[in-house]
Structure 1
Amino acid sequence: MTMRIDEGAAMGTSAPVSRAVKDFEAGLARRKLLVYVCQFAFGVAFLSFWQWASGRLIDPFFISSPAAVFGKLYTWLLNGDLFNHLSITLYATAIGFAIGSAIGFSLGLLFGKFAFLAEVLDPYITALYSIPKLALAPLFIIWFGIGIESKIAVSASIVFFVVFLNTFSGVREVNPIFIHATQIMGASQWGVMRTVIIPSAMAWVITGLKVSVPYALVGTVIGEFMSANRGIGFIIAQATGLFDTNSVFAGIIVLAFVGAVINGLLKITEGHLLRWRA
């Protein structure tokens, strides 16, 4: 005869704990919904005030209006200009982001692992990091020409330092006890790197990637401002020369939307890569 035991009843805590957990999760869900509602309400209120203020408080020449800006975006969407120019900007941003992230992550691991190398090169890295990246754009144009390569170079140079510094800091913050314990169990240097150092530093790396995304976009747009015949930066620069405020704001909104979408995707990726911390 098998005796069935209700462990929750035996402990005397199952029902209260279960209710508490459900209440807590429900509270989180309500708070999340409230945040979304407030975000939407704020956006509607901002656009409404902008539309009202245009022509009443401020000349539309300076601030345009949501109706005119979204009308311009609709025109770009219909004639294909939005896709053509946005694809060029996104391509340069993606390639620059990938190159800068890969080099920054690799060198961050290397310098974090070998402290002596980091100490030797520290003043040189600090000096390079202190250079305004905008000042490098003309140099990259001279080196790589006025094509898309110079925009990729500007974007990659900005992303590199952000990812490098975050990766380096993350590696240096790894608890030595974990490293020694893994080595005692017979792990190789690569095994320690793969199972301890990289996972422990991943939170720092993801933070660096999230921070560097807007800068990658900024780097590309800066390059397009200086020399380009395609891209969102080119549209904004051309519109500025023609005093076309509608196109300037439309280009800015496109860049803001792209940056928000990319950051949202990075948050999803962060949750997946760092799920072990939950």
Structure 2
Amino acid sequence: MPRITGTALVLLFCLLLWQTLHLLVGASSLASPFQTVVKLGSLLATAEFWQNVAETMRAFAAAFLISLVGGIALGILLGVRRLAGNVAEPILVNLYSIPKVVLYPLVLLCFGLGISAKIAFGVMHGLIPITLFSMNAIRQMKPVYRRTAQVLRLSSAQSAFTVILPAILPEVISGVRLGFSLTLLGVLIGEMFASQRGLGFMLISAINIGQIDTIMAVALLLTIVAVTCNSLLLLLNRRMGYR
């Protein structure tokens, strides 16, 4: 109950701050909460908006699946092989520190215009964090788990799926939470640069013509989706941590 009350107070504070900023800067710079909700409601009633949502969700689902499976598999591989992990970790960190926008021309050259480029841009954002979380979770794992797998003479695949992955699952979910948000961000940025459909395209189009209410409505929808999914993953992470 106290947690629900605290969440409600935070939401109320954010709404009051939003309304205050709207009154200070005016509707031409920031739509009010009421205007934003009304605009979002009108967008949800149009078929074109749902087509853009479907386009974004298709690209995001593919990018997140690749980031999830690839990140966990690569993280386990580098975590088990300590030398390979020690060599790969600084490389991955340095790669992730590069602003992804400067790599977008290369992505377009390799994948062309369309959904493939958006998926690639999403994977570029989400793969490395999940890999690093998974790899470091194995490094911090109790040695008894791996020794047990050796005593039972499990194969590498059996050891990974029946011993290592269950042992590091709470830490992996933490990486997945971060990877989820960053993958979505990457897909949206990809849609802003080279796309004719999607929520990112809607955002950049609204920015170009100054439709503040549309910008705020799309941002509100994305915030609700991201916060809801992140909260569900956090709840799962806490439950796994208590086991």
Does the alignment reach a TM-score above 0.5?
A: yes
Q: Compute the displacement of 1:269 (Å).
A: 4.2
Deviations 1:223-278 (A, max 9, x none): 11111111111111111111111111111111111101221332354356x27x42
Asked whether 1:125 is paired with 2:125, we answer no
SS across alignment from 1:110: helix
Matched ranges for 1:39-78 at <5 A: 39-48=7-16, 50-51=18-19, 54=22, 56-78=23-45
Cα pair distance change 1:34/1:153, threshold 3 Å: same
Match of 1:237 in 2: 204
Which sits farther off after the overlay, 83-92 or 122-131?
122-131
Picking from 216, 234, 243, the partner of 1:267 is 234
Matched ranges for 1:1-278 at <5 A: 33-48=1-16, 50-51=18-19, 54=22, 56-270=23-237, 274=240, 277-278=242-243
Distance (whole Å) between structure 1 residues aligned to residue 20 and residue 100 of structure 2: 39
Which sits farther off after the overlay, 119-128 or 213-222?
119-128
User: Contact between 1:85 and 1:231, CA under 8 Å: does it hold in 2?
Assistant: yes
Q: Compute the displacement of 1:52 (Å).
A: 5.6
User: Contact between 1:87 and 1:231, CA under 8 Å: does it hold in 2?
Assistant: yes
Q: Compute the displacement of 1:40 (Å).
A: 2.5
Q: Compute the displacement of 1:188 (Å).
A: 4.0
User: Contact between 1:136 and 1:154, CA under 8 Å: does it hold in 2?
Assistant: no
RMSD value, Cα: 2.3
What letter corresponds to residue 135 of structure 1 in structure 2? V
Q: Compute the displacement of 1:194 (Å).
A: 3.1
Structure 2: runs of 5 or more not aligned: none
What letter corresponds to residue 198 of structure 1 in structure 2? L
SS across alignment from 1:62: coil
Distance (whole Å) between structure 2 residues aligned to residue 45 and residue 106 of structure 1: 42
Question: How many pairs are equivalent?
Answer: 243
Distance (whole Å) between structure 2 residues aligned to residue 52 and residue 194 of structure 1: 52
Normalised by the length of structure 1, the TM-score is: 0.79
Cα pair distance change 1:121/1:165, threshold 3 Å: closer
Cα pair distance change 1:43/1:175, threshold 3 Å: closer
Q: Compute the displacement of 1:154 (Å).
A: 0.7
Cα pair distance change 1:269/1:39, threshold 3 Å: closer
Q: Compute the displacement of 1:121 (Å).
A: 4.1
SS across alignment from 1:60: coil
User: Contact between 1:224 and 1:234, CA under 8 Å: does it hold in 2?
Assistant: yes
Cα pair distance change 1:34/1:181, threshold 3 Å: closer
Structure 1: runs of 5 or more not aligned: 1-32
Normalised by the length of structure 2, the TM-score is: 0.89
Distance (whole Å) between structure 2 residues aligned to residue 264 and residue 184 of structure 1: 39
SS across alignment from 1:234: helix
Distance (whole Å) between structure 2 residues aligned to residue 118 and residue 38 of structure 1: 41
Using CA pairs under 8 Å that are at least 6 residues apart, name the structure with larger relative contact order, 1 or 2: 2
Q: Compute the displacement of 1:65 (Å).
A: 1.1
Q: Percent identity?
A: 27
